Structure 1
């Protein structure tokens, strides 16, 4: 019995938990799990592709500031039967034109600026997705860690109660206890076996969630790491969050986009000036050049332009209100995360006290039962209380670690870069720089491959 308790004293916070017989050197740390989640996340891949699509919007907006060069060829054939003079007639014409918007009140330039702001907003959204992916990995890791310890506790509880049952049966044989005591021990063993089945089921569920979050099933976990540093107060956490949280950054860029769209709607009511030059040549080798300046302005469009301005104004007001609401929600998340952490810390401390008290109660009850002052039921109850206390300690510790990383996420700091995972991270500038200048042909083949290779995707 004493050996069993010493075993639990050493394993309640064990540094190594294994699902199979593998070396400790191969154990997977939480950092390993975070790295795997970062590399294997299809959700990150999806949102990176959406960011690259937004980058292409910049290229398209930039193209509106450049001349458009077009080539056209036309051919005509007139059947003699339908010609007025009864003669067959064929003709061909080749034409090359170039056109450029000289002045549009700044519409195209503001459209370019708006797409750049949209790219920045999309980048912030990508950081938010990265935080969700990493937090899910932390949750999955701690769930498996807690489930493994719970299974270990349940297994050892089964062995202990089986020993209690054998001892009770021996005492029954010599008349020290009644058949009722034996039945109570048998009932307790059945309950312990049921709890072990439930613990194994919880572990199986945690393993599936781990695979979804990290990209593979867990083999061996090295234990829980050192706690990451966080501010000492919720006020400090909120101060960081309002400056760095990706949701706020995204909302700020969306406000800028709406302001630019309002300016574009107003500019659309003004005149525009386009210039074009052309060259044409027909099948008779006759050629000609032409140049044109065209000034145009809409005088009446049924109220469409003013409706577009009012709509842009309403959208701007909505995004500004959305920014203020986002700040409130982020502050709320910080407060909730901090409260959850405080509760978890208190539960860990209370669980330690509970374990000490339950241990003393169990030892005393066991000794008193040996002297005949306690019944078998008292011993089994005390043993169950000790098991419940240790299980609660495991759950509280796992909750505390997840809560700390939740605080980091609420501050906008749960990123691969801030955590110092030591791996190449996705560089959004690489693709943007390759396409934002609107090159005449796609650079995806070489540039994108290098971007993906840098994060280990190819």
Structure 2
């Protein structure tokens, strides 16, 4: 047994060395989006808003059910002639709405439309969370590339500065050329510090979006496939964008609100019943008490004839809300069309920029190489070399930014078309089912089997007490 311990130590050392040699798994754009979707408190907040809207349906449905309540009372009275009496009673009463000429059903239908609108609002929040994650991902990658570029620039300018010093030592150039190289080196270091600062900012944005700091980000996936043209993209956006679908449901709910306000003028028919037990004096002078059981049943119909203008005002307000909802739908449709057009233009601009920048880099590289060779022959100054190198550096930095803008613009277009969702991106994770909670509460369960089903739903989403 004593010989096994050294063997175990050797095996452990080998395992540690092997694990250290295995590179960390690269984090893809899909991984970033999944992390953001699971981490987002904003999504959780809007899921709770949706569950509250589901409960509005349950509340409207409950209006059609009986209301049962118990009532207990006690009274102690004393007259001027020193006669004292005590009365007490306990009863169980029930009230039930028999018919209200459609008012309650309109309220139920309006609440259902609001649920559907709130579901679309949740989809819109999901799109925003995924877009923010993509933006954070591309910002980090761009910042990392800019830092690498600036680090290489500092190295090259340092070499140029050393070459200038060597040439100054042999009397080929003046101290002015060395000072120019020193200034350019200091400027490159300052630019590197700025790039490193931007990288830290991008990492913080990534942390806020996903709940963790970026580690080893992999290269972006192939760009999403685009529609044939901008008009086709606009057509997709008009059909799928959650803001438009939400506005459509809100407009439908507002139409039902107008009908419900008009229905407030109609009568309502209700029934009530009670059963109880009471104890009171036999006569007004007090004395002995009677204990008696009591029961009653009745039907009531009522209708508002005059309300001081309240019902008319409510009806006009409902019509104004309907007009607002219609205008909001039109405005939302126009905004979505604008967002699609803007994203499409950003893609085209970024593509054109990359093409031109590639030509610029090629020419700047050729110019830098030529100026450097000429400087070695004494035909160019150190300043010429530094200027050529700076032009090449700026072109490469511009390309990094343009490529990042092109990638992000594609996801901006997906969001504008309403396609930046977990399902469309095929992220392969389980999503929130908004119908699960709705189906559990839509019939206003209390302590029935439906109530037990609701408890299971709440436990599944981690919201039970």
The answer to whether the superposition gives a TM-score over 0.5 is yes
| Structure 2 residue aligned with 1:272 | 268
| Structure 2 residue aligned with 1:183 | 179
Deviation at 1:184, TM superposition (A): 1.4
Matched-pair contact (CA < 8 Å) for 1:51–1:119: yes
Report the secondary structure of 1:220's partner residue. Answer: coil
Report the secondary structure of 1:28's partner residue. Answer: coil
Gaps of 5+ in 1: 1-20, 454-458
Mapping for residues 110-149 of structure 1, pairs under 5 Å: 110-149=106-145
Aligned residues: 430
**Structure 1's 289 and 114: CA in aligned 2 closer, same or farther, altered over 3 A?**
same
Report the secondary structure of 1:99's partner residue. Answer: strand
Taking the aligned partners of 2:93 and 2:165, their CA distance within structure 1 comes to 103
Matched-pair contact (CA < 8 Å) for 1:168–1:177: yes
Deviation at 1:23, TM superposition (A): 5.8
Matched-pair contact (CA < 8 Å) for 1:430–1:451: no
Matched-pair contact (CA < 8 Å) for 2:272–2:297: yes
Deviation at 1:90, TM superposition (A): 3.5
**Structure 1's 448 and 349: CA in aligned 2 closer, same or farther, altered over 3 A?**
farther
Taking the aligned partners of 1:384 and 1:306, their CA distance within structure 2 comes to 74
Q: 2:460 aligns with which of 440, 450, 457?
A: 450
Greater CA deviation, 241-250 or 170-179? Answer: 170-179
Deviation at 1:24, TM superposition (A): 4.4
Deviation at 1:89, TM superposition (A): 3.7
Mapping for residues 224-243 of structure 1, pairs under 5 Å: 224-243=220-239
Alignment pair present for 1:197 and 2:193: yes
Alignment pair present for 1:362 and 2:368: yes
Kindly provide the CA deviation profile for residues 55-76 of structure 1, in whole angstroms up to 9, marking residues without a partner as x.
Answer: 1111111100111111112223
Taking the aligned partners of 1:291 and 1:22, their CA distance within structure 2 comes to 85
Matched-pair contact (CA < 8 Å) for 2:88–2:278: yes
Taking the aligned partners of 1:353 and 1:334, their CA distance within structure 2 comes to 29
Deviation at 1:223, TM superposition (A): 2.2
Kindly provide the CA deviation profile for residues 19-51 of structure 1, in whole angstroms up to 9, marking residues without a partner as x.
Answer: xx9964422111111111111111111111111
Alignment pair present for 1:381 and 2:394: no
Gaps of 5+ in 2: 1-19, 280-289
| Structure 2 residue aligned with 1:66 | 65
Alignment pair present for 1:100 and 2:91: no
Deviation at 1:326, TM superposition (A): 1.1
Matched-pair contact (CA < 8 Å) for 2:61–2:108: yes
Alignment pair present for 1:255 and 2:256: no
Mapping for residues 274-293 of structure 1, pairs under 5 Å: 274-283=270-279, 286-293=292-299
Taking the aligned partners of 2:80 and 2:293, their CA distance within structure 1 comes to 27
Taking the aligned partners of 1:351 and 1:102, their CA distance within structure 2 comes to 76
Deviation at 1:417, TM superposition (A): 1.5
Q: 1:394 aligns with which of 393, 400, 408?
A: 400
| Structure 1 residue aligned with 2:282 | none
**Structure 1's 405 and 152: CA in aligned 2 closer, same or farther, altered over 3 A?**
same
| Structure 2 residue aligned with 1:410 | 416
Report the secondary structure of 2:354's partner residue. Answer: helix
| Structure 2 residue aligned with 1:174 | 170
Kindly provide the CA deviation profile for residues 246-275 of structure 1, in whole angstroms up to 9, marking residues without a partner as x.
Answer: 111111011111111111111111111111
Greater CA deviation, 50-59 or 434-443? Answer: 434-443
Matched-pair contact (CA < 8 Å) for 2:278–2:294: no
Matched-pair contact (CA < 8 Å) for 1:258–1:315: yes
User: Aligned-pair RMSD on alpha carbons?
Assistant: 1.8
The TM-score with structure 2 as length reference comes to 0.89
**Structure 1's 22 and 250: CA in aligned 2 closer, same or farther, altered over 3 A?**
farther
Report the secondary structure of 1:274's partner residue. Answer: strand
Q: 1:344 aligns with which of 342, 345, 350?
A: 350
Deviation at 1:177, TM superposition (A): 1.9
Deviation at 1:393, TM superposition (A): 0.8
Report the secondary structure of 2:144's partner residue. Answer: helix
Deviation at 1:449, TM superposition (A): 2.5
Taking the aligned partners of 2:413 and 2:21, their CA distance within structure 1 comes to 34
The TM-score with structure 1 as length reference comes to 0.90
| Structure 1 residue aligned with 2:6 | none
